[in-house]
Structure 1
Amino acid sequence: MRKLEIVVSLVLAGVSGPVWAGHAEDDWPEPVKSYRTGQILFDRLEVTRTDNDEDVLVWDMLAWYGSDRNRIYFKSEGENQKDDGEPTELESAEVLASRLIAPFWELQGGIGTRGSLASGAERENYLVFSLFGVAPYRFEMDNSITVNEDGDIAATIEAEYDLRLTQVSYLQPRLEVAAALTDAEAYDRPTGLNDIRVGLRYRYELSREFAPYIGAYWSRSLGDKADQIRAGGGDDSETGLVIGARIWF
């Protein structure tokens, strides 16, 4: 009889719990209130020494503000070669609206520009759509498609992975692939795979917000893009050493 009373009590407790939980007072505080926050991250801020004895300053940054589901992003990449007499080259500067569509994945859309930062230079303006997030096994990815004012379509894939060595040190392989779905003669982008770049960096966190690193990379142009470079007397591949820091606040 005692066992039966215990079973009945447990059943009633299981049923009554959700019932009573559904009658919370209207003025009770929410368990977690929605809020907005933001971050500025320089994933790469580095000086590169190429195999052609060139020194290049490179940046790759993003800033965002918003909630867990909706955010505004600003992304920028570029480089400046020391003592070459040329202005800074802006690889991209983009403003995007972002929406969380799945755990760890955001769909982004916006506008961007790229080209020389010389005064009066004509830059390429475009629409951009990105799938931004973390793939299985924690590969951080930024996959984007751009469509410029002439209707030229290009695509890029960027992926990197943080392999934890200790509590404060990481080994980070990185891959970038650039392709064009249509010919863009004005911007030297023939149809097909155009460029591939792989790199490896060792990063040590002096603090969570500041982590210096050293590394190396190899890049190569492919297909018709490589043919164009060789025809102009250039080198279709490059290797280099880098030293820099990952900074966020």
Structure 2
Amino acid sequence: MRKLNTVISLMLAGMSAPLLAGHAEEHWPEPVKPYRTGQVLFDRLEVARTDNDDDLIVWDMLAWYGGDRNRVYFKSEGENQRDDGEPSELESAEVLASRLIAPFWELQGGLGTRGSMASGADRENYLVFSLFGLAPYRFEMDNSITINEEGDITANLEAEYDLRLSQVSYLQPRLEVSAALTDADAYDRPSGFNDLRVGLRYRHELSREFAPYLGVYWSRALGNKADRIRAQGGDESTLGVVVGVRMWF
């Protein structure tokens, strides 16, 4: 008898579910309504001191606006060496359209420029295509290919990983690799692997939006680029310490 009552109760519950669901009013909003939003993130805003006694101001930022699938991005990286009498060097400034192609992955394409920020400087303009997102185990990736006006092709890989130490502190290893598929003598960029940079930062969040950090990095020129630097009497590797802040709004 108890089993029969249980079966009857389950049947009644199943029959009543569609009736209860039908009571939603027509003018009620959708459970999740599509909307657009945006963010400005300074992943690196830092002062660096190298083993050559150079002082550098470095920035690495991105801003985006859009929805879940389609967005517009602006990315910029660069540095200024203090007291060298030269203007800031723009490593990249890019405007990109982005489309979500898989969970956590966006395909991006757009235009960019790089070079000296001096007024009237002849900068290098290029097309850029990027694969941007999270690899398995939450590695943040930004992989890009650029093609400039002369047809010179470069490839860049950036990867970061946040190792959580506590609710508000992180240890972040970082890797950057750049390569050129063609010789670009006008920009002192030989073919092959050109640069490798690895870094480690300790970050502490005073709030989710504001997190000071300390860190170290090591960079080295590779291949033909390293040979050119040695031939000119330069140092192909650099070790530095950094103090900075990661912030977003």
Range class of TM-score, shorter chain? over 0.9
- For structure 2, the 5+ residue unaligned runs are none
Structure 1 residue aligned with 2:193: 193
Secondary structure at 1:137's aligned position in 2?
A: coil
1:54 aligns with 2:31: no
Written as runs of structure 1 = structure 2, the 5 A alignment for 1:132-171 is 132-171=132-171
1:213 aligns with 2:213: yes
Structure 2 residue aligned with 1:204: 204
1:70 aligns with 2:70: yes
Letter in 2 for 1:224: N
1:242 aligns with 2:245: no
Counterpart CA distance in 1 for 2:233 and 2:126 is 30
Written as runs of structure 1 = structure 2, the 5 A alignment for 1:166-185 is 166-185=166-185
Distance 1:23 1:80, change over 3 A: same
Listed one character per residue, the Cα deviations across residues 129-162 of structure 1 (whole Å, up to 9, x for unaligned) are 1111111111111111111111111010000111
Secondary structure at 1:151's aligned position in 2?
A: coil
Structure 1 residue aligned with 2:226: 226
Listed one character per residue, the Cα deviations across residues 47-96 of structure 1 (whole Å, up to 9, x for unaligned) are 01000000000000001111111111100000000011111100000001
Secondary structure at 2:224's aligned position in 1?
A: helix
The total of aligned residue pairs comes to 249
Return the TM-score normalized by structure 1. 0.94
Q: Tell me how far 1:4 sits from its aligned partner.
A: 3.5
1:88 aligns with 2:88: yes
Distance 1:5 1:101, change over 3 A: same
Return the TM-score normalized by structure 2. 0.94
Secondary structure at 2:137's aligned position in 1?
A: helix
Letter in 1 for 2:105: W
- Greater shift in the superposed pair: 153-162 or 27-36: 27-36
Counterpart CA distance in 2 for 1:181 and 1:22 is 61
Counterpart CA distance in 2 for 1:146 and 1:73 is 16
Counterpart CA distance in 2 for 1:140 and 1:28 is 38
Distance 1:23 1:180, change over 3 A: farther
Distance 1:150 1:35, change over 3 A: same
- Greater shift in the superposed pair: 21-30 or 151-160: 21-30
Q: Tell me how far 1:17 sits from its aligned partner.
A: 3.7
Listed one character per residue, the Cα deviations across residues 71-127 of structure 1 (whole Å, up to 9, x for unaligned) are 111000000000111111000000011111111111111100000011211111011
Counterpart CA distance in 1 for 2:129 and 2:63 is 17
Counterpart CA distance in 1 for 2:19 and 2:95 is 47
Counterpart CA distance in 2 for 1:23 and 1:100 is 35
How well do the aligned residues superpose, as a CA RMSD in angstroms? 1.7
Listed one character per residue, the Cα deviations across residues 202-230 of structure 1 (whole Å, up to 9, x for unaligned) are 11111111111111000001111111111
How high is the sequence identity, in percent, across the aligned residues?
80
Listed one character per residue, the Cα deviations across residues 222-248 of structure 1 (whole Å, up to 9, x for unaligned) are 111111111222111100010010111
Letter in 1 for 2:246: R
